Amino acid sequence: MNQSKRKVRLIGISSFVGLTLLLMATNPVMQERLSLVSHDWAAIKLGNYETSLGYRLAIWDIGLNGIQKQPWIGHGTGNPEVYFEKEAQTYKDGIYRNLPAFQKTSHYHNDWIEIGMHLGGLGIMALAFLMFSWFKLFKENQLSNLGIAFVSYIVLAGMTDTFLLYNRVPPILLVMTALLICWQRSKMDN
């Protein structure tokens, strides 16, 4: 790729990121969410984890501890929720003991922790391999930038929610992948 194309691409990406940040900064919903995070953080500093952010940080903490205890094969499917309920009572001298009453735990709000709790390091490695293979498919079809965007989106979305397991977007992304790859291959054949 020549220098001028890189410059245009960099300007385009920078403009997109700048516009996105500007829209987020002026969006009232985003302002409200940032205010809630600030409030939640103040509560956490006082030892109160019964907030949205506090609960999420607590389940991540307990989840990472659970992965550390069963690093290779996890706790088995269906067991991580029970693990949280039990472990919250005693982990770190019980600082999270009130959380099961605050909110019922159905998942860990993080794909990597969720899979690690269910399937351990082997499951995490399988997910990483799937992400790598998905990107490789894009790269082989001269769609590296799109592959980076899709995989980055999945990884980042999965860091704060169980995106792959409980969301409707991944199947749409797979359909989009199939269509884009078919379109690119037909374009390359002509």
CA 28, 33, 38, 42 torsion-angle sign: positive
pLDDT for residue 25 is more than 80:
no
Q: With beta carbons less than 8 A apart as the criterion, state whether 164 and 154 touch.
A: yes
Token pair listed for 59:
């389940």
The fraction of the chain above a pLDDT of 90, given in percent, is 23
The fraction of the chain above a pLDDT of 70, given in percent, is 99
Long-range pairs of 6-13 with CB within 8 A, sequence gap ≥ 24: none
Cα-flanking dihedrals φ and ψ of residue 105, to 5°? Answer: -90, 120
Rounded Cα gap, residues 24 and 114, in angstroms = 29
* Whether residue 76 sits in one domain with residue 32: no
Identify which of 82-86, 125-129, 158-162 has the greatest average pLDDT: 125-129
Q: Which amino acid is at 99?
A: L
* Whether residue 65 sits in one domain with residue 42: no
* Whether residue 31 sits in one domain with residue 52: no
* Whether residue 27 sits in one domain with residue 56: no
* Whether residue 131 sits in one domain with residue 41: no
Instruction: Quickly tell me which residue has 């609960």 as its tokens.
Output: 55
* Whether residue 54 sits in one domain with residue 41: no
pLDDT for residue 181 is more than 90:
no
How large is the average pLDDT for residues 166-184? 85
Rounded Cα gap, residues 95 and 79, in angstroms = 22
Instruction: Quickly tell me which residue has 């991944």 as its tokens.
Output: 170
pLDDT in tens, 126-147: 999 999 999 999 999 988 888 8
Token pair listed for 82:
């029970």
Q: Which domain holds residue 32?
A: 1-46
pLDDT band at 60 (very low <50, low <70, confident <90, very high): very high
* Whether residue 121 sits in one domain with residue 57: yes
pLDDT for residue 67 is more than 90:
yes
**Could you give the number of structural domains in the chain?**
2
User: Residue 177 in 3-state DSSP?
Assistant: helix
Rounded Cα gap, residues 72 and 69, in angstroms = 9
Rounded Cα gap, residues 47 and 113, in angstroms = 23
How large is the average pLDDT for residues 95-102? 85
Cα-flanking dihedrals φ and ψ of residue 86, to 5°? Answer: -75, -45
How large is the average pLDDT for residues 3-15? 80
pLDDT given for residue 123 in this prediction: 92
* Whether residue 41 sits in one domain with residue 51: no
* Whether residue 121 sits in one domain with residue 102: yes
Q: With beta carbons less than 8 A apart as the criterion, state whether 165 and 153 touch.
A: no
pLDDT given for residue 33 in this prediction: 81
* Whether residue 111 sits in one domain with residue 171: yes
pLDDT for residue 1 is more than 70:
no
* Whether residue 136 sits in one domain with residue 53: yes
* Whether residue 147 sits in one domain with residue 176: yes
